[in-house]
Amino acid sequence: MTLFRTPIPVEEAMDKIWKYKKDGQAEEINMEESIGRFLGEDLIATTDVPWFDKSPYDGFALRAEDTAEANSNNEIEIEVIDYIGAGAVSEKEVQPYQAIRIMTGAPIPKGCDAVMMLELVKEKERDNKQYIRIKRKLEKGDNISFQGEDIKKGKVLVKKGTKINPGIYGLLATFGYHKVKVMKKPIIGVFATGNELLDIDEALVPGKIRNSNSYTLCAQIERSGAEARYLGKVSDTYDATYEALKKAMNEVDIVVTTGGVSVGDFDYIPKVYEKLRVEVLCNKIAMRPGSVTTIAQLNGKLLYGLSGNPSACYVGFELYLRPIIRYLLGSEYPFLKKIRAILHADFKKANPFTRFVRSKLVLQGTKVLVEPVGLDKSGAISSLAFADCLMVLPGGTRGYEKGMEVDVLLLEEQTGSEHK
């Protein structure tokens, strides 16, 4: 018996799934291991930045009032009494018409309230003393980076659930986070179903294809921030499928299968779901590709039955599983980012369902354009290699024309390429 299938809207499918989202847990790791992980707590500034007044340039720290009469016609002479490099501190305090040679990043010496840049002075030695001559007036505070002007101590810099990129990694180092709380990676188990599947090191034979979906899925899982656990291929038998899924439910946080969700004689996932007594949340979604995407839950644990067609499997993951993973990782907004773009090519294919077209963004001046990439069929795989977004085309139309504005879901943090 095959489960009765009634297509539901994409938004309704997501609403059903979202009821089973869960909060993730945090763990503490060494900072050196944190790049690419997701923060398990807010990143808070532990000091001011800079934490002392410092010079942003090589030059001379002095008193601004001593330059009051300096101009192109009146050169002021100031004695240089000390030298400090970055990391050093001068113990001397300047008196009227005195200065201290200072390097970029060094702290401002006592008594000084401005810095004259090196290239704006003339240096001179007389009677074994160093002097500078200047022709420019400074105001108090000129060329000084003041304590806390960039960041104040206690400020929340990065929110929990944010992916640690190189910039955030640098902030962790700046504020001494040698131990970092990050979100634990949920473990996502992946099965491939189908007697037609070969391992990637096997030679092609008639009627067989290599198992690419599992590798694509595992890469998507890793990109989302979770841990992918490939659980192997399952032969197209009811018993094998049942035993594999039953075992996996106790080993991983979420179970994903690819293939076996359609209505063919060897598509056993719906029947196995019945025997497992899971609650089927959806078994047909009004979308292309991936309308047969089947999602269920058992005791709060989600099971995803994704299509065996590569593009349908890919899109199903991005729409319905990635947000759940990102929520587990603490993200405040776990869904794919949506933007508007101008369709750069006709898309005449009519469709009653919402279509998610593998596409690429193109920048043309100030305009953001979008165009399909590769063959737009659920079984196509070439488009996945070059797509950086999914173009969203609502159903019930006779197609879309170049120049129309459409919604776009970003797969990567990319801005497209310059159109020639």
pLDDT tens figures, 106-144: 999 999 999 999 999 999 999 999 999 999 999 999 999
CA distance 79 to 313: 74
> Which of 392, 399, 410 is CA-nearest to residue 356?
392
CA distance 176 to 49: 13
Least confident of 155-169, 194-208, 405-419: 405-419
Confidence of residue 413 (pLDDT cuts 50, 70, 90): low
Mind listing the domains of the chain with CATH numbers?
10-25+184-328 (3.40.980.10), 27-48+153-183 (3.90.105.10), 59-134 (2.170.190.11), 338-418 (2.40.340.10)
Contact (CB, 8 A) for 64 and 118: no
Higher-confidence residue of 28 and 352: namely 28
Average pLDDT score, the chain: 90
Residue 16 pLDDT exceeds 90: yes
The DSSP string of 148-204 is TSSB-TT-EEE-TT-B--HHHHHHHHHTT-SEEEEEPPPEEEEEEE-TTEE-TTSPP
Residue 197 pLDDT exceeds 90: no
Q: Are strands 197-198 and 279-282 parallel, antiparallel or unpaired?
A: unpaired
The pLDDT of residue 195: 66
Confidence of residue 415 (pLDDT cuts 50, 70, 90): very low
Q: What is the pLDDT of residues 63-110, one digit of tens each?
A: 999 999 999 999 999 999 999 988 899 999 999 999 999 999 999 999
The pLDDT of residue 414: 47
Report, as an integer, the average pLDDT of 368-383: 83
Report, as an integer, the average pLDDT of 34-59: 96
The pLDDT of residue 192: 84
Supply the pTM of this predicted model: 0.85
> Which of 79, 65, 57, 146 is CA-nearest to residue 111?
65
How distant, in Å, are the alpha carbons of 95, 241, 286 from that of 273?
85, 10, 21
Confidence of residue 398 (pLDDT cuts 50, 70, 90): confident
Contact (CB, 8 A) for 80 and 132: yes
Q: What is the pLDDT of residues 247-286, one digit of tens each?
A: 888 999 999 988 765 544 445 777 888 888 999 999 899 9
The pLDDT of residue 392: 96
Higher-confidence residue of 31 and 377: namely 31
CA distance 304 to 321: 8
> Residue with structure tokens 């294919």?
349
Residue 381 pLDDT exceeds 70: yes
The pLDDT of residue 360: 95
